[in-house]
Every structure is written in C-alpha cells, then in structure tokens.
Amino acid sequence: MGHSVPGLSEEAELFLVTMREFGLYEAVEPHLPAEFAAVYEIARVLEDPKHPLTQRLAPILGLTHTPRTAPQESSTLLPLPRHFAAEEYDAELIRHYRDIVHIYPHQFLLPEEIFYHRLAERLLWMPVPHPPQVYGYQTQADIYAPDIRKQKVYLLFDTSASMQTHHRIQLAKAIAYVFLRRNQAELGEIFLRTFDLAVGELHHAYDRPSFERLLRTVLRLQAVGQGTILEQAIRTAVEDIRHRTSLVHSEILVITDGIAYLHVDRVRELLGTDIRLHAVRLGHGQLKLKAKAVEDFVYRDDSEASRLYRKLQDEKRHLERQLVHVSGEQQRRLLQNQLHSLQQQCEALLAQMEQQAYRHYATALQQLCVVYVPVEDMPPSQLVGLPAERREALERAARRLLEQLQHSPTAEDFRTAAVVAEYLSFLSRCCAEAAALQGLAQQLRRHVEQALQEGEYRVAEQRVRLNREERRMLRALGAVSKASLSQLLRWLSVRYWLRRLRAWIQRSVWRLRWRFR
C-alpha cells in the first residue's frame, strides 16, 4: 500500500487502503468529490449481507447469471476448460478447374455463356474452411478479464441536482462501486454514461486498466445537472449496444432518483427481447409532483384529456395574441371573459390529469424493468454504523497520527492526515456519540494548515520544504480551512489586478509608440 503510519489501527489502515484504491492519492484533482468518505461508509454497509439495505439491493448486486465458484470447492487449480468454436468458412475464388465441384450452387443458374466465361477466368466463388479458433472459459481468478461470453453491462448514472439530497449521490456511487467490484470476474465489457439535462460522454472498460479508470470515474461523479432525460439516456444506451456486436444481449442498469416521462410502449419496442433493463430507484416514497411535472406529462401523453388540454392551450394563446391588438373596450372584455373561461377549463383538466400523472411517474420505469429495486431515503445514522469498539480504534489511530506529525512527519503523513480528518468529520456529523472525532479532525487539520502556511515541516532537527505538487495535493484533499482559503482567494485577487495593471501599461506604451512613429 505504500507508506503507512506505524501503530495505526486496522480500521484506519483499511480506510487508507480504500482511499488509495479510490485514486485519492495518485490522481488528485483540483477538488475531491463532496463527502467522499460517505461512499466508503455506505460501501461498508453494502458488504454486510445481513444489513437491510444490502438485502433490498441483493437482486441488483447479484445480477450476474454465472454462479461464482466458492474457493473451498476446489483446493487445486484444474486445467482451464476449452471451448471449440464452430468451423468457419470464407468465400474465395476457385484456383483450378477441378474446384468447380465446390462452388456455391446458385452460380449454376447463370446463363451458359456467362458461366463458362467466369470458369475460364476463374471468377467463380467457393467456400474455403479454416481451422476453428479455441477460446478459454472464464478463469478462476477474481479479477476483471472480459471476453465475449461474459455478461455485458451498460450503466446509466443520474447526475441531476436532486441526487445531492439525502446522500443519494453517495449511495448511488457506492452501489455502482460494490456491484462492479463484486462481479468483476463475471463481467465482460462495461459501458457508463451519466445523464441529467443531457446525456454524458461514454466511458468504456475493456481491460484491467480501463476498469480501474471507470471505477474512479464513478467515484468522482458530481450531481450538478438540471433535469432528467431518462428516456433519451436509454435510447442512447440502446444505440451504443446495437452498434457493437460485442455487446449483444447486454443489460442496462439505471441508477436514478428522477421523475421522468417515458413512452413505455416505444421504449419496450426499442429494447426488444435481447436487451434487459434494470433499475435502482432512489428516494422511493411519497411522490411529490410539481405543477410543471404534471403539465409536462399532459404535453407528452396521448390520452383524449391530454389532447383536449393542449387544444385549449392553443386557443388560449390565440386569444392572448388577439387581446394585445384589440382597441375596443367591449371586445376587450369579451376576450378577457373567454380567456378566463379557458383558464378554468385548463385548471380543471390539469387537476383531473394529476392522478394519472402520479400513476405514470410511479410505475413507468418499473413496467420496463426486469429487476426494479426501490430504495427509500435513509438518515445518515442508518447508513453509517459506528459501534464503540470501532470508534475507539479510530480515536487511537488519530492520536497516533498526531504524534507522528509532531515528531518526525513526512509529506505522506500530511496527506494521510488530510484524508483522515475529512473522514472523522463525516463520522462525527453522522453519529452524535462521535463528537470526540471532530476535535481530533480539527487538530489534524491545524497541523496540515501550519505546514501549508510555512511551506515546510520538521524531521528530527531538520526542516523539509513542501514542494509545489505536495502543497497542491494537500489543498485538493480539503485540508485548507475557510480562513486559509479566504487568504488564498485574496492573494489570487491581488495577482489578478496586478496582471490587469501590467496589461494596461503595456497597451498604453504600445499606443504611445504607434502615435509617435
């Protein structure tokens, strides 16, 4: 795992190992995902088969068709079974007149003159067999090693702004991460797209390095978009699958909390019989529709009431345009009364269609899915378990890290302290009994901030300076407090105005030179 702090508890070491696996050490970006520690904690919960959340998600987390072989079933590694593909043929031109007995039969239907001409020129076609290719079945190793016979998965991940509430984005990332890690040995190619108001770019895992990149992409997703174009996302996924022969019989997994209109019959026809759709619906519970969502449903729905509503709206807009240009008071009042009557009819129809909209939004996605798992929002106390033994182990680890920072720290120790401080702060916010962890987190941050401000740290009797990359990574890991951040912003502001002043002086000098040429 690289550098580690001596004396850290197994609990803290496991967290740091996972953070490295998440890519928070080797590929630090300007900003880490919000509450990345929450993903780790929820993933811990999902690894517990007895937890109610894990049991609810079991149909999704165990989606693969191929049963996994338990290690105890085979004490010795058996020879890898082989699969012989069917004999393959290619079409080739005849090489000799004797090959006429092997040509494709339909060529005998050609006119006699044309047939003999092609025979003389050796332009007749015949099938030529090739040796069969030999493939190995899935290995017994628990690693990602895709081939065309394994299950192909296309993941659609909702990144709309509503996913930020109730830790939904962290829960969604934990579900995707645990699913991919748990089933990696049985998975073939994996595709990923995000969707909100638009469909995101395509991410593709086809070997071990690309699989790790895709996992890190999932863990760094942010929910900042507006809107949920779920149907367009499904259509895009189906188009990707149809255009790749290696993705035949793929399965689409949707993770969303969105309320989106779906043309059920059209999407079902689009999926056909060879593409299976599954979904995890986050935030399941009492559906609360806004007037805009109901109106959007009415404009998309094909029922008679919806068509009447759209017709009334067209008439209403026509009267409003007439009202702008009318001059007579009597005619104006007549148009206003007609508008008022149309408005009342529209409101009555909209109220009538509200229940129909509720039923559609609540059941449309479920009608299309083979596996559909609704998950209600949970308070943090249910997503994070912190028994006394584990809490004490983390406290001991934090104190041991503080001692390391005070006596003989390294740049790696400061980076570890920044990550651990964020983790302890998250736990203290979720669990009332973990208030002591917040104090330890603040102490860790103070040491890191001091090293950042001074640009150096002590090792024995020597002072070691933090290089530019180390300072950047510490800031990215969230170690800079609000006060330090405000100082940094003020410094950047000063630099900005100095650059503006320098540019203005340069332009002035250039104008003077041009004037006196």
Whole-model pTM?
Answer: 0.69
Is there a domain that residue 511 lies in? no
Which residues have a Cβ under 8 Å from the Cβ of 394 and sit 6 or more positions away? 9, 11, 12, 424, 427, 437
Residue, of 18 and 413, whose pLDDT is higher: 413
Looking at the fold, whether 215 and 105 belong to one and the same domain comes out as no
180-189, 445-454, 505-514: least confidently modelled range: 505-514
Instruction: Using the 3D structure, point to which of 108, 133, 158 is the last residue of a domain.
Output: 133
Structure tokens at 408: 């003989």
Looking at the fold, whether 319 and 409 belong to one and the same domain comes out as no
Looking at the fold, whether 114 and 169 belong to one and the same domain comes out as no
Instruction: Using the 3D structure, point to which of 282, 303, 319 is the last residue of a domain.
Output: 282
- For residue 115, what are the domain limits? 85-133
Looking at the fold, whether 173 and 258 belong to one and the same domain comes out as yes
**For residues 173 and 203, is the Cβ–Cβ distance under 8 A?**
no
Closest CA to 374 of 118, 60, 69: 60
Looking at the fold, whether 304 and 328 belong to one and the same domain comes out as yes
Looking at the fold, whether 409 and 367 belong to one and the same domain comes out as no
140-144, 398-402, 497-501: least confidently modelled range: 497-501
Looking at the fold, whether 122 and 155 belong to one and the same domain comes out as no
Q: How many CB atoms lie within 10 A of CB 427?
A: 22
| Crossing angle of helices 468-476 and 435-454, rounded to 10° | 150
Looking at the fold, whether 203 and 59 belong to one and the same domain comes out as yes
- Dihedral of CA atoms 71, 75, 76, 80 in degrees, nearest 10, equals -30
Instruction: Using the 3D structure, point to which of 347, 375, 403 is the last residue of a domain.
Output: 375
Looking at the fold, whether 60 and 198 belong to one and the same domain comes out as yes
Mean pLDDT of the chain: 77
DSSP single-letter state for residue 149: T
pLDDT 10s digits, 170-205:
899 999 999 998 888 888 889 999 998 889 999 999
Is there a domain that residue 5 lies in? no
Is there a domain that residue 512 lies in? no
Q: CATH code at 199?
A: 3.40.50.410
Please tell me which of 14-23, 411-420, 472-481 the model is most confident about, judged by mean pLDDT: 411-420
Looking at the fold, whether 252 and 123 belong to one and the same domain comes out as no
Looking at the fold, whether 265 and 366 belong to one and the same domain comes out as no
Is there a domain that residue 189 lies in? yes
Looking at the fold, whether 48 and 182 belong to one and the same domain comes out as yes
Number of domains in the chain: 4
Residue, of 376 and 305, whose pLDDT is higher: 376
